[in-house]
Chain A
Amino acid sequence: MLNTHALFGNRWLLASALLLLPFVLQPFGNAWIRIADMSLLYVLLALGLNIVVGYAGLLDLGYVAFFAVGAYLFGLLASPHLTDAFPWIATLFSDGLHLSLWMVLPLAAGVAALFGIVLGAPTLKLRGDYLAIVTLGFGEIIRVFLNNLDQPVNITNGPKGIGSIDAVSVFGHPLSKRLDLGFMEIPSVTLYYYLFLLLVVVSVLVCHRLENSRIGRAWMAIREDEIAAKAMGLNTRNLKLMAFGMGATFGGISGAMFAAFQGFVSPESFSLMESVMIVAMVVLGGLGHLPGVILGAVLLAALPEALRYVAGPLQEMTGGRLDAAILRQLLISLAMVGVMLWRPSGLWPKPEHGKRLQSVEGHDA
């Protein structure tokens, strides 16, 4: 709590920096704003997973499943795919399926939460490594389903994915089009940046409030000692399901935004590697500590993109023998090994309340 205060202490500085960021990045090209957009989506994912892993202590290696659920939900409900594949749906919606943002957000949150609870329920008695392996399996199951549900009825369009997904519209303006303010034009990526930023701010607020609440404390008690938590009367089953569900909502919202932003979803965006990356973000930044989790997400989401520009020259130097993709993974792995060696509890872990230690002496006297 202390540290979040430190973070929000100069909140005006932080807020203006975040608001101006797209204009700073603009001269370097829209690609950079795009990286910022993706980073924000990853922050959203990391915040959600932090509820499950950081607060409740349930190691979930299949978190990307909820991202996929949100993305496909929006993909299906805001693209011509369903109306093309099922004539009866086309007759129901003569203008095609087009969901507005205000429908998408609660729907994605709700459906993902439902998936979180359904996938969480069978794992309730598992802990640690076993839980990780089962959730990993569930994550893969979702992806395999998406990959194969084009037969016998074409629901997900299989590996080809779903295209021409509508962009999100805010007050009638589709974010895929640049906004003309008269004196200046704001490009689409910047508009998305502000939408995602808003979602992240709301999510941080929600997480922060959960952390300092009856439910949040109960989650942390389960993380610390499940047997003692039960003995204190906590219904660990319901609380764990609540954590799975709550965490999944963030994944669902992030997924829906991802689908709208990209305009295209396919199963390959939701591989195991994505789940591993999200876990890495949470752990690298500092489990259960919001500023740390955000830092971890931004670093791991933006770093690979930034390294793209470093990888190019290095590749030329080695005569093309170093593949850019491999090099990026190598550098990230190195960075992570370094963090594990030198900062085992994450880059920005929860403070140890060291400042109040003088009261210990007072007690002993």
Chain B
Amino acid sequence: MLSQHVLQVAGVSKRFGGLQALNDVHLNIERGQVYGLIGPNGAGKTTFFNVITGLYPADSGSFVLADQPYQPKDVHLVAKAGIARTFQNIRLFADMTALENVMVARHVRTHSGLLGAIFRTKSFKQEEKEIAERAHELLAYVGIDTLADIKARTLSYGDQRRLEIARALATDPQLLALDEPAAGMNATEKVQLRALIDKIRHDHRTVLLIEHDVKLVMGLCDRVTVLDEGQVIAEGTPAHVQRDARVMQAYLGTAQV
């Protein structure tokens, strides 16, 4: 039986030269939660994100992913371990179709190699069929299945965001990590994004949301951690965090008397 916790992170520190980007950051994400990580500019959100996805090695810290000790070292092993991410500045495979983008992400959960491809073995064909079916399913899930054969480059901004989420879901992640998914979206697109994340939560998936848009986070997240200057300054339900004096201070500044 899987435990309640999907990701447990404790004591994560990261220093860039003279800058302590992360200082003893801890985080506990439970299964089925939408977990928000917020903070003002330069708070260390993206650094933290890059640490747990293996882009930067942490100076210290312990990580447990779905009850397995987890060392985010090689970026390509992170997806295999169970964390899939999207990018703040969308990074799709631009010249490939929407369907192919999602199919690529099935790579970690499939096995066929060169010889299977060249000789079109039975298991290869079976696997290809499953990959395509799953990819179609996921496109339908995020609501862009009619665009399967369109090149990712020509999709609208909102659809590109959706495609990125579908692609991340295709790796069968324990944790779906969204890096500022609402960045650059208009009001309508934000509403649609919110509905999509709600739907993902409804399907008992776990989401880590790094976001600038406080309104979106407060409306959507079950729990929130607030970072400021590399430290956790508040942690709890959105309502609780919103009233926290240090959070207000971090966002609005202190009153000058």
Chain A contact residues, CB within 8 Å of chain B? 206, 209-210, 213-218, 220-221, 223-225, 227-236, 242, 246, 350, 352-353, 356-357, 359-360, 362-363
Contact = CB atoms under 8 A, between A and B. Distances in A.
Given A233-B171, A353-B150, A210 B114 contact: yes
Contacts of A218: 104, 107
Contact of A210 (B97, B117, B150): B117
Contacts of A223: 95
B151 interface: yes
Nearest to B93: A224
A201 to B, nearest CB: 14
Contacts of A362: 146
B118 interface: yes
B75 A230 contact: yes
B161 interface: no
Interface in B160-208: 167-168, 171
Contacts of B144: 363
B169 to A, nearest CB: 11
Contact of A359 (B76, B80, B114, B146): B146
A242 B117 CA distance: 13
Given A232-B104, A359-B146, A352 B78 contact: no
A205 to B, nearest CB: 8
A67 to B, nearest CB: 21
B43 to A, nearest CB: 22
B53 A231 contact: yes
A43 B113 CA distance: 25
A236 B151 CA distance: 22
Interface centre among B112, B114, B171 (most CB of A within 10 A): B114
B146 A221 contact: no
Contacts of B149: 353, 356, 359
B96 A217 contact: yes
A236 B76 contact: yes
Contact of B128 (A214, A227, A246): A214
Contacts of B96: 217, 220-221, 224
B120 interface: yes
Contact of A353 (B110, B124, B151): B151
B148 to A, nearest CB: 8
B85 interface: yes
B147 interface: yes
Contacts of B146: 359-360, 362-363
Interface of B: 53, 75-80, 84-85, 87, 91-97, 100, 103-108, 110, 112-114, 116-118, 120, 124, 127-128, 131, 144, 146-147, 149-151, 159, 167-168, 171
B77, B95, B116: most-surrounded residue (chain A CB, <10 A): B95
A216 to B, nearest CB: 7
A223 B92 CA distance: 11
Contact of B92 (A228, A356, A363): A228
A229 B94 contact: no
* Majority secondary structure, B binding face: helix
B105 A233 contact: yes
Contacts of B108: 232-234
Nearest to B155: A360
Given A209-B118, A210-B114, A215-B117, A359 B104 contact: no
A233 B100 contact: no
A236 B171 CA distance: 16
A362 to B, nearest CB: 6
Contacts of B85: 231
A246 B75 contact: no
Contacts of A235: 76
Given A209-B120, A215-B117, A242-B114, A220 B107 contact: no
B118 A217 contact: no
Contacts of A228: 87, 91-93
Contact of B118 (A210, A220, A225, A227): A210
B117 A231 contact: no
Contacts of B110: 214
B147 A225 contact: no
12 contacts: A209-B120, A214-B117, A216-B117, A220-B104, A221-B104, A223-B95, A232-B79, A232-B84, A233-B76, A234-B107, A350-B95, A360-B146
B188 to A, nearest CB: 12
Contacts of A215: 112-114, 117
A217 B117 contact: no
Given A215-B117, A350-B95, 17 more contacts: A209-B118, A214-B112, A214-B127, A224-B94, A225-B91, A225-B93, A227-B75, A228-B92, A228-B93, A231-B76, A231-B84, A232-B168, A233-B171, A234-B108, A242-B114, A356-B150, A360-B147
Contacts of A209: 117-118, 120
Contacts of B171: 232-233
Nearest to B109: A233
Nearest to B170: A232
A220 B100 contact: yes
What 6 pairs between A and B have smallest CB-CB spacing?
Answer: A233-B79, A213-B117, A233-B108, A224-B93, A228-B91, A230-B75
A211 B75 CA distance: 25
